[in-house]
Amino acid sequence: MAKSHIFLSFILYMLKINALKALVGSTDFKIIGVVALYLLAAQLGLWLVFNDISSYPIWAPSGIAFALTILLGYRIWPAIFIGSLITYIIVFTTQGIAISIDVVSVIITISVANVFEALIGLKLYNLFITPEVTPHNKTSGTFILLGISMLVAIIGALTYTLGIYYLQTPTAGVFTKILLSNYLSELIGIWLFTNLIIAWFKNSARVSFSWKGIIESVTYLCAIGALLYVMNKSDLPVALERSFPFLIIPLLFWVSFRSNIQMATLVVVAISIFSTYITINSSGPFILDVPEESLLILQLFILVIGITVVLLSTAIYERQVASNKLALFNENLEVAVDKRTLQLANEIKVREKTEKKILIANDELRKTNEELDNFVYKVSHDLRAPISSILGLVNIAKNDNSKSNVLACIKQIEKSAITQDNFIKDIIELTKNARIKPKREKIDFEQLVNETFDYLKFSMNSIPPKPNFHLHQDKIFYSDMSRMKIIFNNIISNSIKYSDPANTKIDIDIEVVNGHAKIDIQDSGNGIEKKYQSDVFKMFFRATDQNAGSGLGLYIVKETIQKLKGNVSIESELNKGTKLKMKLPNMSARK
């Protein structure tokens, strides 16, 4: 039961809250609030009255009505009408005008005019003011608001002046003075309080607080407070008293440059009220012999500082926004330039890589074309030559079929067939090396060397010399065994072919360190002339006609080593021997 009571109380409380929110957001509540603010502004205007001439330097209700219409919309017009009715009843009563049918008619007319003043002002404001151009972010918007204020102020001032003229029938000269005074009063009230309210309720994003700003604000308020206090002293020299409008200008510039539009409008309203207060109390720089002239110079002073401060503050804000946009633009431009520069650098790198690849591809293509031309020529020549030789030997054997001649021909035929077979083997090795990917296998160098010499012993029909073999290996070496055999077979067979059989010496030094193998194979053969050493790795190149082979041996060695990602170089001295130095990567190091 207690829980149900608590729940019911909570529901009733929420209903009260929602009802209060609905009430606050309703048009009736807004009308009541606007009436209250209008009467409060009217009380301020009545308080700042020139009693001798019954004139009001600042008519705040006009500015309050215009500003609240901008904020709340045209639906609050009844509040303006009600507030105006009450206000002008008070005004006419304080001026000693008895209430009558004519007075009521004039009050209603003035109240209607005040409603039209606010509504026409709202229409013009919505027509010319846009979110991009407002009174406080663009100086053009400030001038538009000034023009609207000057235009609509005529409605209230002229209607009020005509009402007074109708009730009291002043002279033509007095009518003009009253009209000018009322117009300035309307214009000042509209300008000061419209800017103040719009600044604080439509530009809230520009309000910011910091310790530095607070200290500066306190210093400013102390300075302006001291100045206002001194100006209110009655025993000041006349020159100092008259200098107030000039002394206040630096402080107005200070608030315009160092503060925001909210503080600027608040300071202007405060200075205007203070200036009016000391003037109606017969002190300050605006006291002249004729009250109407005192009123006029006071109103002009208030109007000038009001327009100047708002325009200056807006211009400074507009410049700051433009400066921030320019800084942001420059920052974005720098970022864009850096980004584009990086893109161009990447594009250049890509282009350089592409051009490099193209150059490599062109070199490879040129090389391939040259090799293809040589290959076609050599194949047509070296394959056909043994066949021609064999056919010639066959004809010789037919013509002379003696046993000795036939045996000699058979021996030569065998030699030609072996030459052709070796050439075909070289071509097969070259083709395999180009097409088959390397296979990772454990390499036993001692076994590799022994198998190579065993193979050569049969293929060359001779007993090769025993090599001086030295191996230094701390870790397992991986490579392609079949290609390693091709390399060793070709190099060692060349060492045997181009050496004196009676004085053949072959040294093999192998060292496996740091992820690669260094292999040096040196013989004591005929050597190669220096002028030929740069060409020995070319296809079909023969440095000598002695034991002329296909010219593919060292070319196959070079291509095979390159396929294994290694390199090879040659050192040779004529009649002293040749050394081939190879460096092959350990395939395990790339896994």
pLDDT, tens digit, for every residue of 341-387? Answer: 888 888 888 888 888 888 887 877 777 666 666 665 555 555 555 66
- Distance CA(298)–CA(277), nearest Å, equals 11
- Beta strands 478-479 and 516-523: pairing type? unpaired
Element (H, E) at 421: helix 403-435
Which residues 6+ apart lie within 8 Å of 340 measured at CB?
none
Same domain, 32 and 181: yes
Which residues 6+ apart lie within 8 Å of 312 measured at CB?
253, 256, 257
Confidence of residue 22 (pLDDT cuts 50, 70, 90): very low
Give the pLDDT score at 591: 43
Torsion angle (degrees, nearest 10) of CA 402, 406, 408, 413: 160
Confidence of residue 392 (pLDDT cuts 50, 70, 90): low
Whether the per-residue pLDDT at 21 is higher than 50: the answer is no
Domain assignment of residue 474, yes or no: yes
Q: What is the mean pLDDT of residues 250-255?
A: 80
Number of domains comprising the chain: 2
Sheet with 567-573, side-by-side order of all strands:
468-473, 506-513, 516-523, 577-585, 567-573
220: nearest Cα among 228, 569, 384, 490:
228
Domain assignment of residue 353, yes or no: no
Q: What is the mean pLDDT of residues 190-214?
A: 76
Helix (H, G, I), strand (E, B) or coil at 464: coil
Give the pLDDT score at 184: 94
Confidence of residue 26 (pLDDT cuts 50, 70, 90): low
Confidence of residue 149 (pLDDT cuts 50, 70, 90): very high
Domain assignment of residue 18, yes or no: no
Structural domain ending residue among the three candidates 301, 331, 361: 331
What CA–CA distances, in Å, run from 338 to 223, 326, 342?
49, 18, 6
Q: What is the mean pLDDT of residues 305-310?
A: 93
Give the pLDDT score at 430: 59
Residue with the larger pLDDT of the pair 187 and 391: 187
Domain assignment of residue 198, yes or no: yes
| Contact yes or no for 157/179 (Cβ under 8 A) | yes
Q: Which residues of 311-326 are buried (b: 16+ CB within 10 A; e: fewer)?
A: bbbbebbbeeeeeeee
Domain assignment of residue 365, yes or no: no
Confidence of residue 38 (pLDDT cuts 50, 70, 90): very high
Number of neighbours of residue 258 by Cβ within 10 angstroms: 14
Whether the per-residue pLDDT at 148 is higher than 90: the answer is yes
Read off the CATH number of the domain in which 449 is found: 3.30.565.10
Question: Which own/partner pairs from 108-114 qualify as long-range (CB within 8 Å, at least 24 positions apart)?
Answer: 109/159, 109/163, 110/84, 110/156, 110/159, 110/160, 110/163, 111/80, 111/81, 111/84, 111/85, 112/81, 113/155, 113/156, 113/159, 113/160, 114/61, 114/62, 114/65, 114/80, 114/81, 114/84, 114/156, 114/159
Q: What is the mean pLDDT of residues 504-523?
A: 86
Confidence of residue 2 (pLDDT cuts 50, 70, 90): very low
Domain assignment of residue 570, yes or no: yes
Whether the per-residue pLDDT at 432 is higher than 70: the answer is no
Residue with the larger pLDDT of the pair 483 and 551: 483
Helix (H, G, I), strand (E, B) or coil at 209: coil
Q: Tell me the two tokens of residue 76.
A: 């609050």
Percent of the chain clearing pLDDT 90 (strictly above): 20
Domain that holds residue 494: 437-590
Q: What is the mean pLDDT of residues 444-467?
A: 74
Same domain, 139 and 263: yes
Same domain, 460 and 575: yes
| Contact yes or no for 438/548 (Cβ under 8 A) | no
Residue with tokens 């002073």: 301
Same domain, 304 and 448: no
Give the pLDDT score at 41: 92
pLDDT tens-place string over residues 74-96: 989 999 999 999 999 988 888 77
Domain assignment of residue 267, yes or no: yes
Whether the per-residue pLDDT at 127 is higher than 50: the answer is yes
Q: Tell me the two tokens of residue 103.
A: 């007075």
Percent of the chain clearing pLDDT 70 (strictly above): 73
Structural domain ending residue among the three candidates 331, 349, 366: 331
Same domain, 311 and 441: no
Residue 509 — φ and ψ, nearest 5°? -120, 125
Give the pLDDT score at 77: 92
Cβ burial, residue 526 (10 Å; 0-12/13-18/19+): buried
Whether the per-residue pLDDT at 113 is higher than 90: the answer is yes
- Distance CA(77)–CA(417), nearest Å, equals 121
Domain assignment of residue 468, yes or no: yes
pLDDT tens-place string over residues 539-555: 666 656 555 555 667 78
- Distance CA(447)–CA(450), nearest Å, equals 5
Which residues 6+ apart lie within 8 Å of 467 measured at CB?
449, 453, 492, 506, 507, 508
Confidence of residue 185 (pLDDT cuts 50, 70, 90): very high
Residue with the larger pLDDT of the pair 570 and 367: 570
Confidence of residue 123 (pLDDT cuts 50, 70, 90): very high
Structural domain ending residue among the three candidates 331, 359, 385: 331
Torsion angle (degrees, nearest 10) of CA 375, 376, 380, 381: -50
Number of neighbours of residue 362 by Cβ within 10 angstroms: 10
Average pLDDT score over the chain: 79
